Structure 1
């Protein structure tokens, strides 16, 4: 499927947070994990020089869409895979129109996400959650650990709760700097993110988000103080809850608390 053009004819763009995955053992481990699940449509984010793209096109062909903001990557991949030119998109993933490219299909996402916008990418996908059942992504380890954290943990925070409200998140394995070119200064990690089989009932999503943000923005304070800026229908039955700090509440605790505050 590949032609003979070299994939080493351009260097990583630091402003785009690029670190090209180059260890084929890690690549195959990611691909193997990805195909343990079934997929309708597939979106690869940040393909770079195509280390994952080759396997995706070979296995899933017309079901794959590849998106990169770097015109050099898009030009290279279109040359390497002329049969799939229309599926290789030059676009900012944060602005990608899912309805235009995937219509009513379910879209599984895979990628070595640019570290400087990886959290924004996750929240873009979270906003598309009705169409995105599965995400397998490479992140900076610190960020990945935050997404996968459990409560009563210093890594547990706003992003943890908002993502885990809708998805089950598992930290799979570390990826050392030497597996990339150029090597990043930090350890990386791979996350598997699966949409919950039943979407939780959140009566007022806006209030839920505001409560979580307020709680963790003052995470050293008790919730009585951290939530004081919000007008909430609190009463004596919430006394024990309000004596806790944000990180002591599980995701389900936060959902239940927000739902209580949403009822008339």
Structure 2
């Protein structure tokens, strides 16, 4: 299908479209790269795929070539809706939703298990990941492009410089790994930083919403003052008493506490 379409650069030129800095847009136009990302994301085996921020549709073309079932595009920038509509073959497989992904209710867009595959706009990548991992709708897997620094924060282990709230929240509910690195030159326009693709698979046994809310409170306090001992950084939540109830050394710092330790702190929070 993609080979029968004009190139992405030709399509952008024909529509007179350029990336908007305010939307954090950086286009991935190389179909060899987008096909590789989709291979990491799949196989889909007929399940639905949601893509956020498709822009000119480079990743979309690769998804449509795959074994995905229904493909739903969520695009905030109205300039790209006509361009994306050109990818619709009339089969009913493609649905285009104009809107902000932060406000979209995914359960209303797809039935049954679905994958998320996106080159996320840089300015909303982290809040979208948290929404999908802790909200009421859970995808069966997520394959997402982030700035390299954000990707490293997602997969960081205790003791790593990048280890913090994002790693704890993500790894409490899912398994995450970096599957691909991309230089800035791969994008149009090239961003100032390199990027990485993270593959995330939600755990079957996930903390309850109430437990997650407590975990977010604990990690916000602990990493808000990460250089302090937990007895000090968690003072408003119980300090040393909270640590002792969770079996955590009160003189430890947040950066060395593993996921299980933070979950015990959340469980001990009253």
Contact 2:44 2:67 in 1 (8 A): no
Contact 1:20 1:48 in 2 (8 A): yes
Residue equivalent to 2:117: 110
The 1-side partners of 2:243 and 2:166 are apart by: 28
The 2-side partners of 1:235 and 1:79 are apart by: 57
What is the CA RMSD across the aligned residues, in angstroms?
2.4
Contact 1:129 1:195 in 2 (8 A): no
Residue equivalent to 2:11: 7
Q: Return the TM-score normalized by structure 2.
A: 0.88
1:212 maps to 2:216: no
Q: Return the TM-score normalized by structure 1.
A: 0.90
The 2-side partners of 1:236 and 1:117 are apart by: 37
The 2-side partners of 1:180 and 1:45 are apart by: 17
Shift of 1:54: 1.5
Q: Which 5+ residue runs of structure 2 have no aligned equivalent? A: none
1:19 maps to 2:46: no
Residue equivalent to 2:100: 92
Contact 1:207 1:258 in 2 (8 A): yes
Structure 1 residues 31-180: aligned runs within 5 Å: 31-36=38-43, 38=45, 40-60=47-67, 62-83=69-90, 84=92, 87-103=95-111, 105-128=112-135, 130-180=137-187
1:228 maps to 2:232: no
Shift in CA distance, 139/237, structure 1 to aligned 2, threshold 3 Å: closer
Alignment length (residue pairs): 261
Moved more, 3-12 or 112-121: 3-12
For each residue in 1:174-198, what CA deviation from the matched residue of structure 2 results, as whole angstroms up to 9, or x when unmatched? 1001111101110111100111132
Shift in CA distance, 221/38, structure 1 to aligned 2, threshold 3 Å: farther
Shift of 1:86: 6.2
For each residue in 1:239-264, what CA deviation from the matched residue of structure 2 results, as whole angstroms up to 9, or x when unmatched? 852110011111111112221335xx
Shift in CA distance, 161/69, structure 1 to aligned 2, threshold 3 Å: same
Q: Which 5+ residue runs of structure 1 have no aligned equivalent? A: none
Residue equivalent to 1:257: 265
For each residue in 1:177-232, what CA deviation from the matched residue of structure 2 results, as whole angstroms up to 9, or x when unmatched? 11111011101111001111322468633222111110000100000000001146
Shift in CA distance, 7/98, structure 1 to aligned 2, threshold 3 Å: same
Shift in CA distance, 20/153, structure 1 to aligned 2, threshold 3 Å: same
The 1-side partners of 2:57 and 2:247 are apart by: 55
The 1-side partners of 2:134 and 2:244 are apart by: 36
For each residue in 1:54-104, what CA deviation from the matched residue of structure 2 results, as whole angstroms up to 9, or x when unmatched? 22223346511111101122210102325258601111100111232124x
